[in-house]
Every structure is written in structure tokens, then in C-alpha cells.
Amino acid sequence: MKTHIYSLVFITAFLTLGNQSCRKSKALFTTDDSIAGLASPVLMHETETMVYLDDYFDDPVDFDSITGAAGLKIDQNKDKRTLTLTEDGTLAPVSVLSFFSGKTKWDIPLYKTRKKKVPFSFNPGKKTYKTVQIKGDMNAWNPSATALQFENGVYKTDFYVVPGQYGYLLLLDGKEAQDPGNPKKIDNGMGKFNSLLEVPGVPGDRIPSLEVARYEGNELIFEAKQANDLIVLWNNYRIDAVKKGTSFSVTIPEYAEKHDRSFIRAWAYNELAGTTYVKIPLEKRKPLMDPAKLTRQDKAANIMYFVFVDRFHNGNTANDKKINDPEIHPKANYLGGDLDGVIQKIKDGYFEKMGINNIWLSPIVTNPEKAYGLYDVKGIRSKFSAYHGYWPTSFTKVNPHFGDSLKLKELIDLAHSKNMNVVLDFVAHHVHETHPVYVANKDKGWTTDLYLPDGTLNTEKWDEHRLTTWFDVFLPTLNLEKPEITEMLSDSAMFWLKNYDFDGFRHDATKHIPEIFWRTLTKKVKAYEKETGKSYLQLGETYGTPELISSYIGSGMLDGQFDFNVYDAISTAVTQEQIGFENVVRRLQQSQEYYGTNHIMGNMSGNQDRTRIMALATGEVKPEEDSKYAGWSRSIQLRNETGFKKVGLIHAINMTIPGIPVVYYGDEIGLTGGNDPDNRRMMYFDQWNTMEQALADDVGLTAKLRKSKMSLLYGNLNFLLAEKDVLVYLRKYFDDFAVILINNSNKTREVSVNLPLNNPSQNLKNLKKQTFSMKGQTLKVKLPAHSFEIIYN
Ligand SMILES: [Ca+2]
């Protein structure tokens, strides 16, 4: 143990030297803006790390030098466009990579890997198996990613994973099984349990904490406990932080005066761990304190609504046209929703009333006018129309079921006039087999192989053949590794920004598309941003581990993705009796670790591929059942008071955690249903009952509070209480704060928490008018069954 402590002291001394040598270069601070936006942190791998300079720089220039902190080795590769980083074990948890060219300097944050080598073994005892495999959170549920070595009667491997909890299953002769040698289990969110591998991390009391305390003149003062140092960047330049006890002060650079919006980011660290970053928007040389000054261009201030065009609102019956095929069940045919319907609802102020300022439109390009696919389970059969839009037969033509080019322009112009963004659901992964461009070129090797080497079909192999699998035999997966295909698809995405003024994309099937496509597209988006002076939001869709999800986020790729891990944790905690909020805390903390404190991940109330949250909240659909079959085989209709309240809790949490809240159409009035297509019933706007109205009112109330509180948009997140039925957390930004209290029990609960605030009792308000008291630092709130409250200043 003693040796361990000495070695830490040595590392600290070494680091300090590294920092001093770095600080000498401050004279080179310049105003060059070659890096678009904020440079995302480079996350080191356990061995070598490749840095793509094109991700950061418009045109990677000839740098005079590139330096890093002590312990880091930097090799610039021959192509000059990539770096290879390695470290000797002494690198600080957080540092910067500095690039020098003439009088210009840029700094890019660098995170040391938090991964540890964790040995795993499985002893089959007296049983013999032909094959033993493992799949779990540590290998993205892909058994072929891990080869177990069989030695002395035991199956073994090493995993390199960050501290945390990992659910897994063994595949014994191909059959899923819990690990018989491991008594620890973790709920899989679907009514079953996986084995649990726990990897301990840095003790909680040694992890630095960081918050921004106040500003005086041009000085910003941070409070950081357990921190040896603080790294502060203004935009992409490191600025000095002066330490005094547990506080650090920085001077906001004079040059910030010339910027309507720039950012300060800060990381505290010690020799064991670093914080995730705190991000503070500036207005000229002052921290932004008035959220009314945020515009729809401030990505963090977006509140999104997913319009499933065919199922949202029928504004024009003249374009109603079903696919005439008796094999299509009415649920799987066009129901008439269109762009006119969306326009009408924008005009009615429907979105504004709910505080929505970003409309995500489901795909609007032409799709096949015939039935495809087949659902055939236990006597229920149906083919499908392409009412959903995810089977493109064109890159540029608007689907006549929804409207035309002029209608789309009208919709977007109208939304912009109401200060709302519109993002397009973009499908780059595949086209429909009748897509004319594909038909004309399919002999040129445009797609991945439909068959695997063993002759079996490579369809729906989501994890094992993530980048090549086909979604269905009639949906060819484009080979986006081919430069000409990536050029064409990225140009077709740009077409929508340039010709229609869309404000960004929701990207379908992100993890099934190679990184080169995202890099190529993002390069084009950034070049266009320079031309228009606008910023475009890019959110991806990836089901997977935070590591996989975060591998698509960063300066050269996407802004964020939809956070299904957080969604699953929140929805199971709220809808399943036996599961508490502890897992929500774990997942939210994990998201902060991977995506940053003020990330812009999408926090959904539901989506088109999940059971309606109402059906789970009422218990009418069980988490472990086949919810597609449930939707096809029976009429799911139950919507009771408890169900509405639980759906309300999910919206309330989404509206108050870091990220972009996303309302799935219909969840604002608690639509119910099983899975696809039963989770896509027609929305309605007339004759809402009192429970529907109350739920929609609450969505609007919390969304508007979010937009009016800097703490909810940019604040730190601190958990004050997490039990089975109760969750309390604090968001804080300078003196602005909000305490969010959730009671998911079926009884009234008086919740009492101590607020870690200096003077919390000034002018407190209660959004939902529940009884509360504040004495000293103790807040007490009486929460009825399945209710929430937000106490704020
Ligand atoms: Ca219509």
C-alpha cells in the first residue's frame, strides 16, 4: 500500500513540471478559428490512439510543433493528417494537446483511458461444451468479439473496461445462460436477469468535484474539491487558472468581448481521476445569465418533438392514398398524416404551447408504392406499406403521400418564423431495392454482401455484423466504405440543408454506418456552417454501450445521439415495481462521464421502435413479453390515472436532466400500444379528456421552466437522494438552481433533503404547488403518489 502512495506522489510532481512547461507558451494565444466549434476531447485507448486532425481542423496545417503533458508520446504520421498517441502510465487523467503554427495555438482536451484490465474466467466443472462464448456490455453483446482461451479446464479472457457494472450472459453450446459461478445478477430491464461483472473505480471521495461559484468583473471563480489542478479552455485555447485553497480563478480573455457566444470549459483533476467538463456559455466577456438570450442556434436549448408524419395529423385529405394490397393490415398502411397537418399544428401554436422549439420530421422522401416485408407469427399475418418512410426510393423527391417540395419549404419557413428548428430524419444506411439509382448501379458492388461466408443470410445481425448486415432482403445496405457511395450519400444529405434550410439531422441506424461516412458528411456540414453562419444539429440513433455510442460523437462526427441507456433506466424505474432509481443515477453519471456534463444527447419519452410507455406504465404490456405480438394480437387500451402520472414522471425527468428532451408524438397525451406498428397509432387533437390535458399541460409547464432556467440548461447535476421510489436531484448554475423531486410510490411521501447551497431559502417557488418548507438547508416537500415537484429560485 505504501509503495502505491509513493508512486502517486512521484506522478504528481512529474505532472506539475509538465504543466509549467506548457504554460510558458501562453504568449501565442491568438484568435484563429480554424477549429469549428468546441474541440471535443480525445479519448485515449488502452494501447495506441489515432487522432484524425481533419476532425478538428478545416485543413490540417503544417504545425511547427504539437505538444502534450508529461507521459504522452505523440507521433505525427506520414500523411500529416493523423497522430498516433501512446502514454507511459504517468499521463494525467485530463490534459491538453497543443498545436502551434506561427503565432497561432490551439488546445484540444485529452482524456487518459479509464479502462482497466479485468480477468474473467468460467469453470465449467464436470460439464463439457463444444463451444463457450460470452456476450455482454463489455463486448457490445457481440460474442465473436471475445475469444475465450481454454486452459487447465477453465475458460479465460481479459477484458479492458472502465469501472462500472457490466451485464453479461454465457453462450454454452450456443444457448444463453447466466454464469453459474457468479452469484451477482443485474436486471436486464425486460423482466429477466443477466450475470453481473462489477469493476470498482476510484473511491467516490477521491473523485474531484467541480462547480462554477461566481464571477467578479472578468474573473470566474470555480470551486473544486479533491483537485490538484484545473484545466480551463476558452473556446479552444487553454487559459491560466490560479489556485487558492479549493477555489480556482480564471480571467475571461479580452478577446471574448468580440464574440456574441463563446464558451468556457473546465476540468478538475487529481492524480487518480478527472471531472467531466463544466461548460459555461459566454455573452461577450460575461457568463450568460439570461436564458432568453439563447436562440434556436444554441443546441443545448433545444426541446424536440418527433413528428411521425403519416401518424401525426391529416391536414389534406386530397393526398390520402393507401397501398392497395389486401395483405396489408390497416395498422401497417398509410393513415393520411402529412406536411399540411404539421403546418396546421405549427399555425395553431401546438408546439409553442408545449415549449417545443425543434421538430424532428420522420423521413419524407419517396418510398415504394407496394407492400414489402411480412409479419407472420402465430397466425397473424401482414405485409407492410412504407408509411414510415424508412425505405427510400429517392434521395431528393418528397413523398406525395405527405406533400410536395413547396409544402416542405412552407413548413420549414413557417417553423423558422416561429423560432423553431426542423431536423430531417435521414436514412444513409440503405435504400429500397427499387431505388432507381441503385437499380442502375447495383452491379458495381454498391452494397455489402447479403450472404455470410457460410452461406447464411446476413440480415438483422445487429451486433455480430454491425457494419454489413441488411435490415431486410429488400433493403440493400450501402457499402459506405466506398468513397463514391459516401460522397453521393453525404451530398444527398447536404441537398436538404442547402435546398430546404433544414436545421440538422436525426441520423437513422448510426452504428451500422462506418465512421468514414460520418466524417465526410460532418466535414461538409462544417464547411456549410462557415458559409451560412448557422449551426446544424446532428443527432444519431445507436442502441449500444456508452463506449460504442460515444465513438460516433465528437468534433469530426455527431453532436450527440439518443441516449437509450438512460431511457431504459428511467422507463424501467418508473414502470416496474421492483426496480428503483439507483440504476437511473448510475446511467446518468455514466452518460456524463462519456458525453460531458452539459452534453446534448437526446432524452426520449419513447420512440417508434419501443412499446408505448403508457402500456408499460399501466402494466397492460409486460416488460418480458413480445410486445410486437402483443400489439398485433390484442387490443391494448388501458389508460388509467396511475399510467398518466407515470408517463408524466418520465417527461418531468427528461425535461430536467442534461441533454435535449425529446417528446415522441402522442406521449404528451399518453397514447398507448404495443410495439411497432401498434406504437404508431394516429395522433388526435380533439376532445382530450382531463388526464390527457393535464399531462400535456405538464409537458408544457416543465419545458417552459427548462427554457427559463440556466441551471436546467447548463447546470451541474447532483444527486441528493435515490431510493426505490424516490429520486431527488439538484441542477445549479452560478446562483440559479432547481431541485427536482420524484415520488414514484403509490403513497404520499414527505421527502426531506439537505441542499448543498449557501443561502437556499430566498424566494423559492414550487412549480406544481405542492406543500414545501425550507429551514436552514433542509428542504421538505410533500409529494402525492406518482408525482413530481420542482423547487427553484
Ligand atoms: Ca393526408
Q: CATH no. for residue 8? A: 2.60.40.10
H-helix or E-strand containing 527?
Answer: helix 515-532
Looking at residue 18, its pLDDT comes to: 35
Looking at residue 30, its pLDDT comes to: 57
Assign residue 496 a region (left: φ > 0; alpha: ψ between -120 and 50; beta: otherwise). Answer: alpha
CATH number at residue 768: 2.60.40.1180
**Ligand 1: centre distance to CA 42 (Å):** 47
Which residue reads 413480445 in cell numbers? 626
Residue 450 and residue 473: Cα distance in Å, rounded?
Answer: 8
Domains held by the chain: number: 4
Residue 284 and residue 344: Cα distance in Å, rounded?
Answer: 39
Residue 444 lies in a domain: no
If asked whether residues 146 and 253 sit together in one domain, one would say no
The DSSP result for 681-714, as a single string, is PPP--SS--HHHHHHHHHHHHHHHHHHH-HHHHH
Q: What angle do CA 732, 274, 288 make, to 5 degrees?
A: 35
**Ligand 1: centre distance to CA 436 (Å):** 26
Residue 661 and residue 654: Cα distance in Å, rounded?
Answer: 5
**Ligand 1: centre distance to CA 546 (Å):** 40
Q: Which three cell numbers stand for residue 90?
A: 504517468
**Ligand 1: centre distance to CA 319 (Å):** 5
Looking at residue 104, its pLDDT comes to: 87
Report the DSSP pairing between strands 229-234 and 237-239.
antiparallel
Residue 600 lies in a domain: yes
**Ligand 1: centre distance to CA 405 (Å):** 15
Q: Out of 201, 233, 251, pick the residue that ends a domain.
A: 201
**Ligand 1: centre distance to CA 623 (Å):** 35
Residue 215 lies in a domain: yes
**Ligand 1: centre distance to CA 424 (Å):** 19
If asked whether residues 9 and 147 sit together in one domain, one would say no
Residue 346 and residue 411: Cα distance in Å, rounded?
Answer: 8
**Ligand 1: centre distance to CA 320 (Å):** 4
Classify each residue of 712-744 as buried b or exposed e, where b means 16 or more C-beta atoms within 10 Å of its C-beta: bbbbbbbebbbeebbbbbbbbbbbbbbbbbbbb
**Ligand 1: centre distance to CA 403 (Å):** 8
If asked whether residues 314 and 260 sit together in one domain, one would say no
Pair 206, 166: CB distance under 8 Å: no
**Ligand 1: centre distance to CA 309 (Å):** 10
Report the DSSP pairing between strands 660-664 and 602-604.
parallel
Peptide bond preceding 143: is omega within 30 degrees of 0, i.e. cis? no
**Ligand 1: centre distance to CA 349 (Å):** 20
Q: Which three cell numbers stand for residue 463?
A: 451486433
Looking at residue 596, its pLDDT comes to: 83
**Ligand 1: centre distance to CA 431 (Å):** 24
Which residue reads 474473467 in cell numbers? 120
**Ligand 1: centre distance to CA 599 (Å):** 37
If asked whether residues 261 and 343 sit together in one domain, one would say no
**Ligand 1: centre distance to CA 343 (Å):** 12
For the chain of 793 residues, list the mean pLDDT of each consecutive stretch of 10: 33 34 44 80 93 91 92 94 95 96 91 94 94 92 92 95 93 96 88 92 91 94 96 95 96 93 95 91 96 94 98 98 97 98 98 97 98 97 98 98 98 98 98 96 93 96 94 97 97 98 98 97 96 96 91 95 96 92 93 88 97 98 95 98 98 98 98 98 97 98 98 96 96 96 98 92 93 95 98 97
Residue 441 lies in a domain: no
Residues in the chain: 793
**Ligand 1: centre distance to CA 367 (Å):** 16
Q: Which residues contact 309 (CB under 8 A, 6 or more apart)?
A: 337, 338, 339, 341, 342, 361, 362, 364, 389, 402
Give pLDDT tens digits for 450-460.
999 999 999 99
Residue 470 and residue 457: Cα distance in Å, rounded?
Answer: 9
Distances (CA, A) of 245 to 227, 284, 629: 10, 29, 61
If asked whether residues 20 and 73 sit together in one domain, one would say yes
CB atoms within 10 A of CB 558: 23
**Ligand 1: centre distance to CA 11 (Å):** 67
**Ligand 1: centre distance to CA 631 (Å):** 25
Residue 644: alpha-carbon gap to chain centroid: 25
**Ligand 1: centre distance to CA 170 (Å):** 50
CB atoms within 10 A of CB 187: 17
If asked whether residues 134 and 273 sit together in one domain, one would say no
Looking at residue 524, its pLDDT comes to: 97
Pair 100, 50: CB distance under 8 Å: no
Report the DSSP pairing between strands 104-111 and 560-561.
unpaired
The identity of residue 558, as a single letter, is L
If asked whether residues 649 and 702 sit together in one domain, one would say yes
Q: Out of 201, 223, 241, pick the residue that ends a domain.
A: 201
Give pLDDT tens digits for 366-413.
999 999 999 999 999 999 999 999 999 999 999 999 999 999 999 999
Give helix 515-532 / helix 483-500 axis angle, nearest 10°. Answer: 30
Residue 54 lies in a domain: yes
**Ligand 1: centre distance to CA 677 (Å):** 19
**Ligand 1: centre distance to CA 388 (Å):** 14
Which residue reads 401546438 in cell numbers? 350
Q: Which three cell numbers stand for residue 422?
A: 426542423
CATH number at residue 673: 3.20.20.80
**Ligand 1: centre distance to CA 678 (Å):** 20
DSSP symbol at 478:
B
H-helix or E-strand containing 772?
Answer: strand 772-775
**Ligand 1: centre distance to CA 317 (Å):** 4
Residue 452 lies in a domain: no
Closest to 342 in 3D by CA, of 313, 316, 363: 313
If asked whether residues 580 and 521 sit together in one domain, one would say yes
Strands (E), 200-252: 209-216, 219-225, 229-234, 237-239, 242-244, 247-251
Pair 305, 662: CB distance under 8 Å: yes
Q: Which residues contact 584 (CB under 8 A, 6 or more apart)?
A: 566, 569, 570, 573, 653, 722, 727
Closest to 276 in 3D by CA, of 323, 176, 207, 329: 207
Residue 381: alpha-carbon gap to chain centroid: 35
Residue 454 lies in a domain: no
| Residue range(s) defining the domain that contains residue 157 | 116-201
Classify each residue of 493-508 as buried b or exposed e, where b means 16 or more C-beta atoms within 10 Å of its C-beta: bbebbeebebbbbbbb
Residue 313 and residue 725: Cα distance in Å, rounded?
Answer: 37
DSSP symbol at 742:
E
**Ligand 1: centre distance to CA 341 (Å):** 8
Q: Which three cell numbers stand for residue 284?
A: 461577450
**Ligand 1: centre distance to CA 328 (Å):** 19
Pair 493, 523: CB distance under 8 Å: no
Q: Which residues contact 392 (CB under 8 A, 6 or more apart)?
A: 363, 365, 366, 367, 427, 430, 431, 432, 435
Residue 49 and residue 476: Cα distance in Å, rounded?
Answer: 33
Q: What angle do CA 551, 388, 404 make, to 5 degrees?
A: 105
Looking at residue 758, its pLDDT comes to: 85
If asked whether residues 253 and 380 sit together in one domain, one would say no
**Ligand 1: centre distance to CA 472 (Å):** 28
Looking at residue 102, its pLDDT comes to: 86
**Ligand 1: centre distance to CA 355 (Å):** 26
Pair 275, 210: CB distance under 8 Å: yes
Burial of 183 (0-12, 13-18, 19+ CB in 10 A): exposed
**Ligand 1: centre distance to CA 429 (Å):** 28
Residue 12 and residue 314: Cα distance in Å, rounded?
Answer: 65
**Ligand 1: centre distance to CA 314 (Å):** 5
Q: Out of 673, 708, 743, pick the residue that ends a domain.
A: 708
**Ligand 1: centre distance to CA 339 (Å):** 8
If asked whether residues 197 and 244 sit together in one domain, one would say no
Residue 388 lies in a domain: yes
Strand order across the 242-244 sheet: 209-216, 219-225, 247-251, 242-244
Residue 414 and residue 347: Cα distance in Å, rounded?
Answer: 8
**Ligand 1: centre distance to CA 340 (Å):** 8
**Ligand 1: centre distance to CA 644 (Å):** 30
CB atoms within 10 A of CB 81: 15
**Ligand 1: centre distance to CA 312 (Å):** 10
Looking at residue 344, its pLDDT comes to: 98
If asked whether residues 190 and 256 sit together in one domain, one would say no
**Ligand 1: centre distance to CA 334 (Å):** 9
If asked whether residues 577 and 688 sit together in one domain, one would say yes
**Ligand 1: centre distance to CA 420 (Å):** 23
**Ligand 1: centre distance to CA 521 (Å):** 33
